[in-house]
Amino acid sequence: MNLDLDDRERAFRDEARAWLAEHVPASPLPNMDTAEGFEAHREWEAVLAAGRWSVVSWPAAYLGRDASLLEWVLFEEEYYRAGGPARVAQNGISLLAPILFEYGTPEQRERYLRPMADGTEIWAQAWSEPEAGSDLAALRATAARDEARGGWVLNGQKTWSSRAAFAHRGFGLFRSDPSARRHKGLTYFLFPLDAEGVTVRPIPKLDGHPGFAEIFFEDVFVPDADVLGAPGDGWRVAMSTAGNERGLSLRAPGRFCAAADRLLTLWKERGAGSAALGERVADAWIAAQAYRLYTFATLARIERGESVGADGSVNKIFWSELDVRLHETALALLGAEAELRGAGAPCDGAWMDGYLFALSGPIYAGTNEIQRNIVAERVLGLPRGDR
């Protein structure tokens, strides 16, 4: 792949850099897993959308810029380099929207994409269940047909639902044909979290804030208009979502490259006396650059018409473990001061906050143990293990 940018790509990057320099908040927003922070981040999504920087790769009709995948990566690099806030709309724009473009009806795209892009409606991912997390096909929440009302009745429980504590809507799989095999008879639904029969119970994360929630469904009616894809075809639709989550779109390299640059700065300020820590900083920086180049290689494959497929699992393992290493090295550089939080703490406690979040990376989007099984069987062709 030619890594030299053409005139259009340089202009796009320069425009993004200038806009971000003018608009990125000077001070960090409150934690988005609080009521105050959630609203502050929604307001930031509206600012991004007003500048048409919220969903750059989407069509212009839905507040995008028709940007190429390379331009999207360039924007992400500029976004994280500028210190842009975490994206509260990420579940919608990164996980659900690609599926809406592929499987959604024109009415669904018209109804949901623009409010998703400008932060009017925030979506929660509602996949995992108490006994069906990484083994998604084991889910037990049900959808029963209601011919009289033209829709479905949902019952059951979802858990570890990201953003659900404050979000407006959710998307998830339900078993609509209990007689079918594990991966069959599943249907993908969109639903409001304030619907009659829905109960949302927040779950605090390590930092004490409700980054997740349990969702309970008791005879919740969902019309046919909110079925995504064909009834019974939910597994195929969901796997498209999983591919996005584990592969390219959830974790652009800009995030890790920006963190590696901040780590290098921290090393120059705090760690110059330790050769061992210096080697860890160098390794982390090199790994971030390697991930960036791997992403460009993936872009080249997609442009040739190839699919990412099971290689997305390689991607997911790499970025999630890199994120942990980056933050562990920063905490080692800070020593005991890493324990401090809030105003007056080094970097306002951002490295510790980032570390606590990074610990979840090897778990969410399908645990890394599951990803290694996929790599072993589908990439390397090794025999299926005992499980």
Residues annotated as catalytic are 245
Q: Helix, strand or coil for residue 166? A: coil
* Contact of 169 with 191, CB cutoff 8 Å: yes
CB crowding 53-82: b at 16 or more within 10 Å, else e: bbbbbbeeebbbbebbbbbbbbbbbbbbbb
Centroid of chain to Cα 256 = 14
CA atoms within 13 A on the CB side of 23: 22
In sequence order, what are the residues at sequence separation of 6 or more whose Cβ sits closer than 8 angstroms to the Cβ of residue 78? 13, 16, 17, 20, 254
Q: Which amino acid, one-letter code, is at 53?
A: W
Q: What is the DSSP string of 79-140?
A: HHHTTPPP-TTHIIIIIIHHHHHHH--HHHHHHHHHHHHTTSS-EEE---BTTBSSSGGG--
The phi and psi torsions of 328 (rounded to 5 degrees) equal: -60, -40
C-alpha to C-alpha distance for 359 and 374, rounded to whole angstroms: 21
What residue spans of 174-233 are helical by DSSP H?
Answer: none
Q: Give the residues across from 186 on adjacent strands.
A: 175, 233
